[in-house]
Amino acid sequence: MQIIQPHYHAIARTAQDYERMAMSGVVAVCEPAFWAGFDRKYPETFIDYFRQIGEFEPTRAADYGIRHFFWVAVNPKEAENPELSREVLKKFPDFFEMPNCLGVGETGLHKSTANEAMIFEEQVSLAVEHDQLILIHTPHLEDKTHGTRRILEILEGLPVDRNRVWIDHAEEHTIRPILDAGYWSGFTLYPITKCSPKRAVDMLELYGRERILVNSSADWGPSDPFTLQECVCEYRRRGNSLQDAMEIFYNNPVRFLGQNPKFDLPLLKVEEMREEAEAPAEQPAEEPADRA
């Protein structure tokens, strides 16, 4: 089965991860810009980081036949430094020109401070101005509900096309307001913290598959790219069809990301496959020749 990994921090992972992902059917990964584990001091450090995920990572992925796309953003933690953030934002349009850049992400909130909110708003506005897709990080569990609500409030005041905005790291208590407001919602799977593959399937059963993107982030902390495949297996184990799995784990990312024409992977014709799979097998016209 072909799988798209829509949120993946390849910079933190090994070539062996790429190889194992390719062997498990992953055909494309998308790498948002995120926090490096420490606060960067210089705008140039961000620019070099964007070049690494925009220019170098695609070559590593290509070695395993995987397409690689990326996003640019100042993450919420470093948005605490507005002066630095604005210097970096000035360079975004250069990256928007690149053939594999999908938009602005992951921007969002971490502790929902005034500076974070201000730089988040500026990044969303820049994305809108340049007709880019938007990927939004919601805070960790302590502040998830409040932070998600703040994000929705801020977006409310901006001229965004909601179908072009993906609000990620949703959990049981935040998915509903995201979907109800018309945005795409993401589940980020982790082996220990955050959403597990089983809980993600519970949510798929409760809310359906429309406007849902499942990913495993896989960053430099305790994480595992293959929680995504675990989720596919759990979904199938509960009796869902292969075709329904393809809709969620391949076609949904194509539907969202393909709104940027640079993401040019084709939609799979799942309904045709379903009809074929369900059609009764044809009987051979005559008895096979005796091989004896």
What is the binding site for Zn ion (CB under 5 A)? 34, 217
Task: Report the distance separating Cα 276 and Cα 272, nearest Å.
Answer: 6
Rg (CA), the chain: 20
The one-letter amino acid code at 3 reads I
Nearer to Zn ion, 34 or 46 (CB): 34
Nearer to Zn ion, 36 or 98 (CB): 36
Nearer to Zn ion, 107 or 217 (CB): 217
Nearer to Zn ion, 34 or 250 (CB): 34
Smallest distance, Å, CB 34 to Zn ion? 5
Cα separations in angstroms, 170 against 114, 127, 184, 216: 22, 22, 10, 12
Length of the chain: 292
Of all residues in the shown chain, the one whose CB is closest to Zn ion is 34
Nearer to Zn ion, 101 or 245 (CB): 101
Nearer to Zn ion, 196 or 217 (CB): 217
Smallest distance, Å, CB 31 to Zn ion? 9
Smallest distance, Å, CB 219 to Zn ion? 6
Of 179, 184, 87, 90, whose CA–CA distance to 134 is shortest?
Answer: 184
Smallest distance, Å, CB 280 to Zn ion? 46
Q: What is the 3-state secondary structure (H, E, C) of the chain?
A: CCEEECCECHHHCCHHHHHHHHHCCEEEEEECCCCCCCCCCCHHHHHHHHHHHHHHHHHHHHCCCCEEEEEECCCCCHHHCHHHHHHHHCCHHHHHCCCCEEEEEEEECCCCCHHHHHHHHHHHHHHHHCCCEEEEECCCHHHHHHHHHHHHHHHHCCCCCHHHEEECCCCCCCHHHHHHCCCEEEEEECCCCCECHHHHHHHHHHHCCCCEEEECECCCCCCCCCHHHHHHHHHHHCCCCHHHHHHHHHHHHHHHHCCCCCCCCCCCCHHHHHHHHHCCCCCCCCCCCCCC
Smallest distance, Å, CB 138 to Zn ion? 11
Nearer to Zn ion, 85 or 138 (CB): 138
Nearer to Zn ion, 14 or 205 (CB): 14
Smallest distance, Å, CB 106 to Zn ion? 5
Tokens of 133: 């897709």
Smallest distance, Å, CB 216 to Zn ion? 10
Smallest distance, Å, CB 32 to Zn ion? 5
